[in-house]
Amino acid sequence: MNFPPSSEPTNAATAAFRSARDQLLALRGEQVRACAEFGWPELGSRWNWALDWFDEIARGNDRPALVIVEEDHSSTTVTFAEMAFRSDQIGTWLAAQGVGQDDPVIVMLNNQRELWEVVLAVMKVGAVVVPTTTAVGPSDLRDRLDRTRARAVVCNGIDAAKFDDLAGDYRRIAVDQVGGWLHLDDAFTVDPALSHPATAPQDRLLLYFTSGTTSRPKLVTHTQRSYPVGHLSTMYWIGLRPGDVHLNISSPGWAKHAWSCIFAPWNAEATVFIYNYARFDAKALLGVLQEHEVTSFCAPPTVWRMLINADLSSGPGTLRELVSAGEPLNPEVISQVEAKWGMSIRDGFGQTETTAQIGNAPGSPVRLGSMGRPLPGVPSVLLDPVSGEVVAGVGEGELCLDLTGDPVPVMTGYADEALNDAAMADGYYRTGDVASRDEDGYITYIGRTDDVFKASDYKISPFELESVLIEHPAVAEAAVVPAPDEVRLAVPKAYIALAPGHEPNEETARSILAHAREHLAPYQRIRRLEFFELPKTISGKIRRVDLRQREVELVDHPSEQEFREKRS
């Protein structure tokens, strides 16, 4: 198929974006210098990333934009040119169905080519993408429809029934043939006829629901500028280059998917690589990485913890970059991969509300336990939680972004006014995460403001204790929470998910407790332990709030599966 060339020449906004992107590519390996010299591009009054960037790099470009490999080794490859043309068709068709500028569209698809085509199409008509995981049920969908006032839904036929009892004024679009629903395939019979919707950089582009580790999901608004442009910081952290093949393990519907499966790789003109599997298989994943010559790989700590229990002797293949995000990465995992592959996993930090904020960028020495240093263009500061003053130099405080000058990589705000006022108070966006900074500017994660607790009047960071626990060969994952105690008011209790081949018995518990006692300071000692299936959000984050509540409920009726240290 021949694809028509772009009808518009590169404009000033595109040129400014490319210049900023190329500046970061040139400053690879010089993170301190990049932070000092990088400046966000001036986009003027009109900007639409899908049209002004993606289409500009895609027209006539036959390199793969997207490669999807299935468990049976079958694969789908979509070139940049094909992606641009098919998203033009869908956009033209959506407009004909009444989807217009600023209309929210719920996109609830798996890792399938239609996901990327629909997302680009929604952007191209100036509408607003509402990414939604297929794991949600009707009650969550009701909430999303109500809070976003969605005007359209796009999903697979298997999920259409979830909307049967969800009345509303919205278009229903299915990838498959479903009675009473519009059929997406009809879009591919139309001739593209799109004009630029004249979206401004500050116009809405994305409505995200957070994963809700402590409360109901918050509704986050991002603009045409904040995520597409802001993810230049993510591109820099990952170390992506034009022509790279980037595999990120993340489920559609969550912010990390947009981070590393749309904006960061396509900002770099790299290929998005997807490996679709029903159940995680470390050996199979390693084989796919090598067979398809993947150059950069991003995975959450849970996946990295499973990989180090696999056979890594075949080496990293063509991998050049290894990164991790989603939750803090335990030093033990970094050490083991480095020992077997001679490569460092570079940790990074960001949120649904932001792009990558902190990271160990390529060329920077990795300090075990540290998330790295602030990334270019991201005004990260630590605020003293008591005084609210900026912490200068070495110290600890809440990790925040200085909102002076309207920084690019941060949300417009929460839909809930009270939540938004609290999060954006006094000219700072407050992440809710506590961290420390050393003399060289490296930031180390301590914990969520609501996860850090006191025991015997000492402040306890769950992450520090969990990092020690995971060094024990029997521990696959761990979560530490305060358990009420008559003497100390609270003591650290560890909930443990066991690694394969280990039994949840007293012998294993005593071994883990002894390991913790040997490697932790006396005030940090794990006093109680229980083998337990860790509760998680549907995005995979541990819900410590559930475990803390469980501990309160156990005060009068202690768990029979709990193991305790003797008093000392």
**In a shared domain, residues 173 and 299:** yes
**In a shared domain, residues 337 and 413:** yes
**In a shared domain, residues 417 and 507:** no
CATH number for position 535: 3.30.300.30
320 within some domain: yes
pLDDT at 239: 98
Q: Which residues 6+ apart lie within 8 Å of 243 measured at CB? A: 63, 269, 270, 271
**In a shared domain, residues 186 and 51:** yes
pLDDT at 215: 53
φ and ψ of 101, to 5 deg: -60, 135
φ and ψ of 296, to 5 deg: -140, 145
443 within some domain: no
pLDDT at 4: 42
Pick the closest to residue 358 from 338, 341, 374 (CA basis). Answer: 374
**Residue 170 structural domain:** 12-437
Tokens of 300: 């959450």
d(CA 277, CA 284): 9
Q: Which residues 6+ apart lie within 8 Å of 386 measured at CB? A: none
- Residues 427-450 pLDDT 10s: 999 998 889 999 999 999 887 776
**In a shared domain, residues 156 and 301:** yes
pLDDT at 427: 93
- When divided into structural domains, the chain yields a total of 2
6 within some domain: no
Degrees (nearest 5) of the Cα angle 417, 355, 345?
Answer: 140
Pick the closest to residue 480 from 499, 468, 493 (CA basis). Answer: 493
d(CA 370, CA 468): 15
Residue for token pair 């995992």: 333
CATH number for position 375: 3.40.50.12780
**In a shared domain, residues 479 and 342:** no
pLDDT at 8: 44
Query: What residue ranges of the chain have pLDDT lower than 50?
Result: 1-9, 213-214
7 within some domain: no
Instruction: With beta carbons less than 8 A apart as the criterion, state whether 88 and 111 touch.
Output: no
Task: Provide the 3-class DSSP secondary structure of residue 556.
Answer: coil
454 within some domain: no
pLDDT at 35: 96
pLDDT at 532: 93
4 within some domain: no
SS (H, E, C) 168-234: CCCEEEECCCCCCCEEHHHHHHCCCCCCCCCCCCCCEEEEEECCCCCCCCCEEEEECCCCCCCCHHH
Last residue of a domain, one of 437, 472, 488: 437
**In a shared domain, residues 419 and 481:** no
Instruction: With beta carbons less than 8 A apart as the criterion, state whether 529 and 493 touch.
Output: yes
**In a shared domain, residues 342 and 380:** yes
pLDDT at 80: 98
- Residues 100-153 pLDDT 10s: 999 999 999 999 999 999 999 999 999 999 999 998 889 889 999 999 999 999
Residue for token pair 């994963």: 211
Give DSSP secondary structure letters for 501-518: T---SHHHHHHHHHHHHH
Query: How far, in Å, are 43, 76, 150, 250 from residue 53 at the CA level?
Result: 12, 24, 26, 24
Q: Which residues 6+ apart lie within 8 Å of 258 measured at CB? A: 131, 206, 227, 231
SS (H, E, C) 94-149: HHHCCCCCCCEEEEECCCCHHHHHHHHHHHHCCCEEEECCCCCCHHHHHHHHHHHC
Pick the closest to residue 154 from 192, 120, 183 (CA basis). Answer: 183
Last residue of a domain, one of 370, 403, 437: 437
Give DSSP secondary structure letters for 385-432: TTT-PBPPSSEEEEEEEE-TT--SSB-SEESSHHHHHHHTGGGEEEEE
**In a shared domain, residues 488 and 428:** no
pLDDT at 300: 87
pLDDT at 213: 46
**In a shared domain, residues 469 and 429:** no
447 within some domain: no
**In a shared domain, residues 314 and 221:** yes
429 within some domain: yes
Say what the alpha-carbon torsion angle 78, 198, 153, 67 is, to the nearest 10 degrees: 10
pLDDT at 137: 86
Sign of CA dihedral 495, 501, 504, 506: negative
Give DSSP secondary structure letters for 324-357: E-SSPPPHHHHHHHHHHHS-PEEEEEE-TTBSEE
Q: Which residues 6+ apart lie within 8 Å of 134 measured at CB? A: 108, 109, 110, 155, 156, 159, 252, 253
Last residue of a domain, one of 437, 470, 498: 437
In the sheet that 489-498 helps form, which strands lie side by side, from edge to edge?
A: 475-485, 489-498, 528-531, 562-564
**In a shared domain, residues 429 and 503:** no
φ and ψ of 65, to 5 deg: -90, -30
Whole-number percent of the chain with pLDDT over 70: 95
